[in-house]
Amino acid sequence: MASPARVDLDGKPIKAMTICMIGAGGFIGSHLCEKLMAETPHKVLALDVYNDKIRHLLEPSDGHPWSDRIQFHRLNIKNDSRLEGLIKMSDLTINLAAICTPADYNTRPLDTIYSNFIDALPVVKYCSENNKRLIHFSTCEVYGKTIGSFLPKDSPLRQDPAYYLLKEDDSPCIFGSIEKQRWSYACAKQLIERLIYAEGAENGLEFTIVRPFNWIGPRMDFIPGIDGPSEGVPRVLACFSNNLLRREPLKLVDGGESQRTFVYIKDAIDAVMLMIENPARANGHIFNVGNPNNEVTVRQLGEMMTEVYAKVSGEPKLETPTIDVSSKEFYGVGYDDSDKRIPDMTIINRQLGWNPKTSLWDLLESTLTYQHRTYAEAIKKAISQPAST
Ligand code: NAD
Ligand code: UDP
């Protein structure tokens, strides 16, 4: 019996499409490719300079039922003439390519600005000129700091959502001074958002902009010295995982007082799938994608990860599980931070009916189980080997 036709949120059949996914080999791209292969008939042209995180989808020897629906193109969008042709061959382009680790923003600000603005320009241009739909990945960091962060510490207004809730169509973008190079990323992302919005307004580009709020899960970033440079500084999930795996205290930057909301990658991917398959509801919109119920300070995140890791690894907690470090020591000069990030969910709820499901404890449990299984042995080996001279 033929499987029932897949329908969109308005009950219309979903046609199979070809998707040009730029940055498909990264953390989000790998999960999106997995979902598209396992649950849809869509084809993916996967563009990236690396493919380690999607190799399991590409191996022809495994005889996956999707082997003719995913094609890897190793290319750097900075300088590859194949880009326009691949966008032209597709119905939809999804651009995930970026430098997006905070340790780079103040230490490699030029690369950060080029990657997040200049390198994205041809993608927007080719989509606009060829009347192709674009889903572009921006960031919650475009909001910068909350209005409330400028109020006195004891002001009761800080508890009022009007002073902290981040709304796509209402909140301002508040960055620090130019010497705070942390904001090079946010500023580049903001300008590319404005350019895409203007292409929509003036030239009719069909676009959707995604603002991820700390999506986390398996395959995020790298573990320094194992599958990334020993001196590299990934995002907080991988930093804390690395500390836990090596039985070192977790480093809390400036006391770990900043607040974040974390969403499980699998929940977030469901939101992106709804955008892909419901263009009439997603086009022309900017969407916050996060989990407002999973808010913690970075200190609380560290404490919870310590508890969860002890449970999944069976190893006792350290006597001193965390230590404080200054941001200057950890990231160098020019670092600054977003104080608090709670996404308003009105627009994504109204347009796509999406809600996140997974609690912080549950998402950490599955993610740290993965980290332990994937890295614990390699770390033990690396620690037992004398450092090469
Ligand atoms: P990631 O670093 O894992 O993935 C980015 C991928 O883009 C990498 O595989 C990289 O090799 C590729 N890439 C970079 N420059 C390229 C180039 N010039 N040519 C070809 N490929 C290139 O990051 P991610 O977490 O998957 O993030 C994807 C997007 O989402 C980024 O635009 C990022 O700014 C945005 N974002 C993610 C989060 C999050 O929570 N993960 C938060 C905010 C924003
Ligand atoms: N952070 C920390 N220790 C670490 C890594 C990060 O205290 O080892 C803090 C960082 O200063 C920030 C938060 O954790 O306040 C989240 O950092 P991440 O790199 O994940 O990215 P961000 O959410 O700032 O974009």
Q: Is pLDDT above 60 for 1?
A: no
Identify the band that residue 59 occupies on the pLDDT scale cut at 50, 70 and 90. Answer: confident
User: Residue 66: which pLDDT band, with cuts at 50, 70 and 90?
Assistant: confident
Residue 309: active-site member: no
Pocket of ligand 2 (CB under 6 A): 102, 141, 214, 235-236, 239, 251-253, 256, 258, 260, 298, 337
H runs (alpha helix) in the chain: 27-39, 55-58, 82-88, 102-105, 109-116, 121-129, 184-203, 236-245, 265-277, 279-282, 298-313, 327-331, 346-352, 360-384
Quick one: DSSP state of residue 144?
B
Atom of ligand 1 nearest to the CA of 95: 32
Per residue in 120-145, pLDDT (tens digit) is: 999 999 999 999 999 999 999 999 99
d(CA 38, CA 40) in angstroms, rounded, equals 6
Q: Is the pLDDT of residue 389 over 50?
A: no
Q: Provide CB contacts within 8 A for 143, sequence distance 6+.
A: 166, 171, 172, 173, 174, 338, 341
What pLDDT is stored for residue 2 in this prediction? 58
Task: Give the model's confidence band at 281: pLDDT under 50 very low, under 70 low, under 90 confident, else very high.
Answer: very high
Rounded to two decimals, the ipTM of the complex is: 0.99
- 12-40: average pLDDT: 98
Ligand nearest to the CA of 326: 2
CA of 181 to the centre of ligand 1 (A): 19
Amino acid at 5: A
Q: What angle do CA 304, 305, 308 make, to 5 degrees?
A: 85
pLDDT band at 362 (very low <50, low <70, confident <90, very high): very high
pLDDT (mean) for 76-82: 97
Delineate the domains of the chain, giving CATH numbers in brackets: 98-379 (3.40.50.720)
Average of pLDDT values for 336-355? 98
Q: Please report which ligand is nearest the Cα atom of 329.
A: 2
Query: How much distance in Å is there from the Cα of 286 to the middle of ligand 1?
Result: 18
Distance 34 CA to ligand 2 centre (A): 27
| pLDDT level of residue 67 (50, 70, 90 thresholds) | confident
Each residue's pLDDT tens digit, 189-211? 999 999 999 999 999 999 999 99
Reply yes or no on whether the pLDDT at 169 is more than 80: yes
**Burial label, 53 (beta-carbon count in 10 A; 0-12, 13-18, 19+):** buried
